[in-house]
A and B are shown apart, each in its own frame.
Chain A
């Protein structure tokens, strides 16, 4: 899918909560201290939202940082879409809260998206369409989650919290990076789901790998490279969804990318899988360090299932924007480790009497 007129990223911003739960602490509680699962998943620790954080507050922080980098007056943002699978309200949009806090209301299109881990890139695809058609001057897409895994399950080691926001515009002189081409690949593949009344998701264990994650990312990435006439070696960086530390490396190798091309974007080992924020945080890590002229292949994955692949070319405008807001590494490096009980308390997983 090629935008009808050139569009680009004019601002990006991220947020990761300050608290961390270490894999060895999870293993202490559930596996007698045997840390095999974390070693297999290549997870050192995961981010934990504080008791007063949710996907809306995380989206607000990321959006605020993106606006700083864009230097835009927020009332010029014509659409705000927030992708998440951890909405605090079943009925009531989170995007209206984000739009109100950043000062984009009332002349704005706002909506919440859901597609497991790719809700944020769906939001981005729609934003690209609205900006390139000229329906809005600028648009903002956000992926934000406070993901939950059932205590003791494999997902308990990875499900974490964080978010990233991207502002898309069509004025070339403002581009930090141009979005040249996109490719979406979707099938009905049931690898991971949560029924409405259940607190934690269910998953198909090994079924989540080959028919789901691998197949959709490989097909979307190949489709994108075919449309662009590019090969893996044409890219400086490759960014994939990061459900654990193993999958993005495996899929990169299968596609013909080197470890060097993919390793800079991999942050899941230190913050866990931030779901809708995951691939978008990986991309932000690359924008934090990229140079004008660099080419990036980006591909998300969401269970259920689908992938959005995007060909991105870094422009001169990136340099002056880099230091206008905190970087991904600033959030990764500033952390406080908590124990499992504090984690349960912060996540609201301890039962009380209802008053």
Chain B
């Protein structure tokens, strides 16, 4: 990902900010200028809850390029406390321990490292709540 593209998504990656539509009330975990539901441009940024539970998940054994060395890892569809669903890696857990309904919370981690001289990209992941 290019530096400007990463920089534009920082509010989402770092603070789990999404968009709420003031016209129809639709909430999306992504940063949008137009409501994906009703097309209104009367939208504002909203901080999503940091806690939720595993709605669904998959264990990745054939990772895409750049993630081969973390094999296997868990990607979860997380249902946040406000009902918003968001995809994220689940860390600090044995893949066997992940179950639907597992309570998780946001943690801040490295997402990827661009070679020896590029930038380090950070963002949210999830980990089990103890």
Contact = CB atoms under 8 A, between A and B. Distances in A.
Nearest to A352: B69
B116 A97 contact: no
A57 B15 contact: no
Interface stretch (B26-34, B80-88, B107-115): B107-115
A303 B111 CA distance: 33
A154 interface: no
B97 to A, nearest CB: 11
B8 interface: no
Interface residues of A, number: 23
A152 interface: no
Interface in A46-72: 50-54, 56-57, 60-61, 64
Nearest to B108: A60
Contacts of A61: 107-108
B108 A57 contact: yes
Interface of A: 18, 50-54, 56-57, 60-61, 64, 88-89, 97, 100-101, 103, 330, 334, 345, 352, 354-355
Given A52-B109, A52-B111, A57-B107, 4 more contacts: A50-B92, A51-B70, A54-B120, A354-B115
17 contacts: A18-B92, A51-B110, A52-B91, A54-B110, A57-B110, A60-B108, A64-B108, A88-B120, A97-B14, A100-B10, A100-B14, A101-B14, A101-B15, A101-B122, A352-B69, A354-B115, A355-B115
Interface of B: 10, 14-15, 69-70, 91-92, 107-111, 115-116, 120, 122, 125, 130
